[in-house]
């Protein structure tokens, strides 16, 4: 129903459905990319790097689109901040898991 209420012209402007603003959609994509990257981190490291990099690109674009389209919201700012922290924490956890089993250097 919501999709029918929005025309493509309205989609690119400030409209009555802030959860469907372009920056928020990019934020949702970032969450999906990060979760998938973390899920495959131990078995497909190159795919993890690609997904994490794509998530980083979406992080750059969501702020640009928010300002360019006038679609900045408090929810979008919070979504961006929380997604940044979760992605960074997830990356740190993966790095820890990858290197925690390595032998300690000899003295």
First to last CA, the chain: 67
Distance between CA atoms of 107 and 103, rounded to whole angstroms? 12
Tell me which of 10, 59, 80, 84 is the catalytic residue: 84
Q: Judge whether 84 counts as a catalytic residue.
A: yes
The torsion angle over the Cα atoms of residues 21, 87, 29 and 1, rounded to 10 degrees, is -60
Catalytic residues, by residue number, are 84
């Amino acid at each position: 129903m919501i999709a029918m209420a929005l025309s493509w012209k309205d989609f690119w402007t400030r409209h009555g459905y802030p959860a469907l603003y372009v920056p928020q959609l990019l934020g949702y994509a970032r969450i999906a990319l990060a979760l998938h990257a973390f899920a495959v981190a131990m078995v497909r490291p190159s795919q993890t790097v690609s997904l994490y990099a794509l998530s980083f690109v979406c992080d750059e674009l969501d702020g640009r689109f928010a300002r360019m389209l006038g679609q900045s919201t408090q929810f979008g700012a919070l979504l961006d901040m929380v997604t940044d922290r979760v992605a960074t924490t997830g990356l740190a956890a993966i790095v820890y898991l990858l290197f925690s089993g390595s032998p300690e250097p000899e003295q």
